[in-house]
Structure 1
């Protein structure tokens, strides 16, 4: 019996020793892996980014659950509730600025995509001075929001702006593009389209140049016109480029505060262009309603996630397939 017990215990002990050896071997390989050896280069920036970005997002959300009203006293985290969000849902200013934000987001993104793909098709058709035309349309994208705002502030000048001067040649105007609430949002959208259409052109041009010429030749042999060839064959293959460009455009549309502040020099732009971003800054810095401003910031974050999340899911599905 003793011998049989030793026989039974032997493999168990040997198995335990082997398991411990395997564990140590895996641990040794882990510590020698590229992931661990490269950690001094990426770990500290990763932690700092996590603290500054994700820590700031979490803190902003916590602030929105308090009654924090400024720097005179610290926020009270003992009584967290959603009172600020209820107040925002009942605030007419939130609805009006939200409507302006939505109109700007949709109109700017849609028109810029259409103009971008038109320019890309035009340049892909081997027009004369193609490189010069491409550079001219791409140049505005290299400008900052501040420069673009000041440029179009001069262009829209009521007395001697270039827009009213050109319209005057045809017996039109002058129009108060900046001061008229019915025109100012359209004027802002047009300025943004001017700045970002070149970016969309480059994105779509890269997509067009990746499509084999055989498809053009096949469509030509089948008797398809140029319009049908692009509408039925080419443009459907630009879906990935369209989604990528649309996400970038919508993110910039949500970050419109810099443009509006640079153009109007105030936290309260004209009625037609007051958006959620300007309302958020005004509530925080003018009225010291920091908790309410944090709630509006969270709403803006949710809008941004609503834009980015479907794109990330689309990219994930595309790679999985």
Structure 2
């Protein structure tokens, strides 16, 4: 432990924090299999914390040294964040980044005392997830045209709604992940965990139309691309060739592009409210529960680790439950 502390303290001002954060981020990526979204968020949060330490004059005589931080410094940082009027969910995430970072430093014996042990996380505001009603969802699914890009967009909307996919799971799909015979797709979720997502007939038909028609025309933008006659012909080691959803340049679609696609059709169908790709995932879960699915099955389909994450959808369906009660109970 002393040797690691000496190595950290011997670094030039500011570099101690930079080096440890770099090592921590490598740990998240290689050992924890953190998602790109988590990596980006934690990196930004730790950079923001570093800037606070510089302005606050904390972190020891040699500059920003995280081994010299105590819980009072973290409380000052938390107070500074609260002054900015940040939401509780944002505060909780920033504290989660610091907890994970200092837990790593403690595990590696770089610090003796973990300052985060005396810091409590603010209670999150419970916000009910937004969802679309069935007629709204049907209008959204019907919005894309039959052009190559329209076929792609229809397949994207159908896949998210039919499988409850996260955006990261959707854009990470490869052609070989589809099983048209069983009507499902193999998706890779948080922490590199794989699950099988049933997609249903309409979604699989939309995917098939895109794969064998629209995608072929998109892929033609790439030199050496060829028509897809059979999935078996696709080379799994060719990144551009194996990606399922392509952008206008014929390369893998990004998460940002999916958000833009959803926004486009939300505007086109005049739904007049903020709807993100994640809203379609919420809609998937809500419609399943309203249709009579049990919570445990919905948890598995969503790829949630904890049941508590799925339970929020029970609040959304209370209106539906009340309607069923009033229509069926003899004393209602």
Report if TM-score (shorter chain) is over 0.5.
Answer: no
| TM-score, reference length from structure 1 | 0.25
| TM-score, reference length from structure 2 | 0.24
Structure scoring higher RCO (CA < 8 A, sep ≥ 6) equals 1
Indicate the structure with greater helix content.
Answer: 1
Greater Rg by CA: 1
